[in-house]
Amino acid sequence: MNKRIVVVGSSNMDMIARIPRIPSPGETVTGGEFAMFPGGKGANQAVAASRAGGDVELIARVGNDLFGKQAIAGFTLDGIKTDHMIRDNETASGVALIFVDRQGENSIAVASGANMKLSPGDIDAARDVIALANTLLLQLDIPQETVKAAARIAHQRRMRVILNPAPWNPIDDELLRYISIITPNKTEAEMMSGIKIESDADLSTAAKILQSRGVETVLITLGAQGAYLLGFGLRERIPAFRVQATDTTAAGDVFNGALAAALAEDKPIREAVHFANAAAALSVTRMGGQPSIPFRNEIDAFLNASPGLS
């Protein structure tokens, strides 16, 4: 079975302050705790896919600095192939500054650094690697022309292409036509569709609008309310798992990485989403980006102890 997953995206160092509440503009909030972990949406999703059982290669650009070297060493420990990670001698690695409040909600500012220099030329150099994969997983925290270049190669090879449209940027219809599955959260789905989502009927309308722009399957993630699926002949909400959230920083990335791993194993879509929901639920009970990401045995044990899909 070809379980190869190529992730194209960002790699950052996450600097996290856990504080009583998120500061308002101009306000200083004291009494926090500081931690530093590797992160970035592309990197997080690659780690999540690998720990969930996928055979993963990450295409990204980091600075030729301490953070970049630490990131690559961490990927290697997680079994992720890094042959097409570029070390940039001119630009620093990306950094994310993250506030996390007592309820586990977060506010994030990103200095993208080398991530924004990942180019279509870098993608072309990795064309053969992409073509050999089962699934391509993408986000929007690198230049959109680079995202499009990768999606175009995969689409031409009739591969599965998953796009997590975060952080939000307007997406042109050419890119959407290359996408097999798009995974916006509620806010992103509202911005893409122009629909204010307040009910399942609104979810259905928003998803249909996205499908009309060329995407095959729409999967709107709803945090503790699960995920809404339109595609594969299905139209339904797939429930989440009840857990006590500590830090939601990487939950969406964990969901997408685990989803890619499950689909690369040819799991049916509902089972794959259920698996991804379980991985995300485990992640929010832990602090940090990549340190919060569960391993396959943990996800399987969690699922075995939880109610199954009916």
Q: Which residues touch 216 (CB under 8 Å, ≥6 apart)? A: 179, 180, 181, 231
pLDDT at 103: 84
Q: Are 229 and 235 in contact (CB under 8 A)?
A: yes
**pLDDT tens-digit profile, the chain (310 residues):** 788 999 999 999 989 898 999 999 999 999 889 988 888 999 999 999 999 999 999 999 999 999 999 999 999 999 999 999 999 999 999 998 989 898 878 888 889 999 999 999 999 999 999 999 999 999 999 999 999 999 999 999 999 999 999 999 999 899 999 999 999 999 999 999 999 999 999 999 999 999 999 999 999 999 989 999 999 999 999 999 999 888 787 899 999 999 999 999 999 999 999 999 999 999 999 877 788 999 999 999 999 998 666 5
Instruction: Decide if 156 is inside a domain.
Output: yes
Instruction: Decide if 163 is inside a domain.
Output: yes
Q: Which two tokens stand for residue 80?
A: 């992720």
Nearest Cα residue to 62 out of 53, 52, 72, 54: 72
Q: In what order do the strands lie in the sheet with 12-18?
A: 33-39, 12-18, 94-100, 106-111
Residue 170, domain extent: 4-25+32-295
| Segment holding 35, helix H or strand E | strand 33-39
pLDDT at 248: 80
Q: Report the catalytic residues.
A: 253
Instruction: Decide if 93 is inside a domain.
Output: yes
Instruction: Decide if 141 is inside a domain.
Output: yes
SS3 content of the chain, % helix, strand, coil (to 5): 40, 25, 35
Q: pTM here? A: 0.92
Instruction: Decide if 193 is inside a domain.
Output: yes
Nearest Cα residue to 85 out of 62, 64, 66: 62
Q: What is the DSSP string of 204-254?
A: HHHHHHHHHTT-SEEEEE-GGG-EEEEETTEEEEEP------S--TTHHHH
Instruction: Decide if 84 is inside a domain.
Output: yes
Domains identified in the chain, total number: 1
Under DSSP, the state recorded for 141 is: S
- Give the pLDDT confidence of 213-234 residue by residue, as tens digits: 999 999 999 998 999 999 999 9
CATH (domain of 51): 3.40.1190.20
Q: Are 42 and 60 in contact (CB under 8 A)?
A: yes
Instruction: Decide if 309 is inside a domain.
Output: no
Q: Are 135 and 145 in contact (CB under 8 A)?
A: no
Instruction: Decide if 308 is inside a domain.
Output: no
Under DSSP, the state recorded for 28 is: -
pLDDT at 308: 67
